Structure formats: structure tokens, C-alpha cells
């Protein structure tokens, strides 16, 4: 009997837990303005690295807590050949809460050190 009561309580609470998670996700979602700006930057990346970099720098000033912007800027710097800026931006993005982004940043920094002939530093980051 107690076992059935346990499952009944769980089934009643499940929708509440799901609703709370959705509300939390909505509160943490970026504003429409930032999404629009990020999308415009994404489109610019494909054709004009210099302006895309400038747009990302503006976004970073406005949203300094969003470390993924630094990671993306590092990618642009890397593609544009500015390896020192790329390393700096990757290094600063590592403070992100997403472990996968941290791994990507370290991997990309390893590639930069490899490209620069600093093989020992490269190996340490892989």
C-alpha cells in the first residue's frame, strides 16, 4: 500500500517539477534583443570577419557575463589570423559554466600553439 502511495505522489509532483524547470529556463533565456544581435553577427561572420569581430566586441561590452561570446570571438580571431587575440579570448572564455565549451577552447588553443610551432604547449592543452 505504501509503495502505491509513493508512486501516486511522484506522478502528482512530476508536472510541477517540469513546470518549475521550464520557468527557470524562461528566466535564464537571453532577451530578444541579444538573440537578434547574435543572429546578425552570425550572418556577418560568413562574409566579413572584421565587422563581425567589432560586433562581438560590442556584445561582450554589453554582456560581459556571457563567456560564450568570448569563445566565439576567439573563433573569429583564429579564422582571421589573429592568433594572440584568439588565445586570449579562449583563455577568458574558459570561465564558462559549460564544460564542453571549456574543452573546445582548450583544444583550439592547442591548435594555435601547434600552428605557432610550440608543440610542447600544444600537447599540454590536448
Contact 108, 125 (CB under 8 A): no
The CATH code for residues 32-125 is: 1.25.40.10
**Domain edges within the chain:** 32-125
Distance CA 20, CA 116 (A): 49
Contact 50, 79 (CB under 8 A): no
Expressed in angstroms, the distance from the first to the final Cα of the chain is 55
pLDDT digits (tens, 9 = 90+) for 76-102: 889 889 999 999 998 888 876 567 777
Choose among 87, 90, 91: nearest CA to 115.
Answer: 87
The verdict on pTM exceeding 0.85 is no
Regions in the chain scoring below 50 on pLDDT: 18-22, 25-26
Amino acid at each position: 500500500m505504501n509503495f502505491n502511495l509513493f508512486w501516486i505522489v511522484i506522478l502528482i509532483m512530476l508536472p510541477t517539477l517540469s513546470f518549475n524547470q521550464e520557468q527557470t529556463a524562461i528566466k535564464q533565456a537571453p532577451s530578444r534583443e541579444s538573440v537578434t544581435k547574435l543572429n546578425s553577427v552570425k550572418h556577418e561572420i560568413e562574409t566579413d570577419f572584421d565587422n563581425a569581430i567589432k560586433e562581438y566586441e560590442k556584445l561582450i561590452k554589453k554582456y560581459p557575463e556571457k563567456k560564450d561570446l568570448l569563445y566565439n570571438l576567439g573563433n573569429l580571431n583564429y579564422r582571421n589570423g589573429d592568433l594572440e587575440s584568439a588565445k586570449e579570448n579562449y583563455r577568458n572564455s574558459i570561465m564558462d559554466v559549460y564544460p564542453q565549451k571549456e574543452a573546445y577552447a582548450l583544444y583550439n588553443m592547442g591548435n594555435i600553439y601547434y600552428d605557432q610551432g610550440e608543440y610542447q604547449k600544444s600537447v599540454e592543452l590536448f
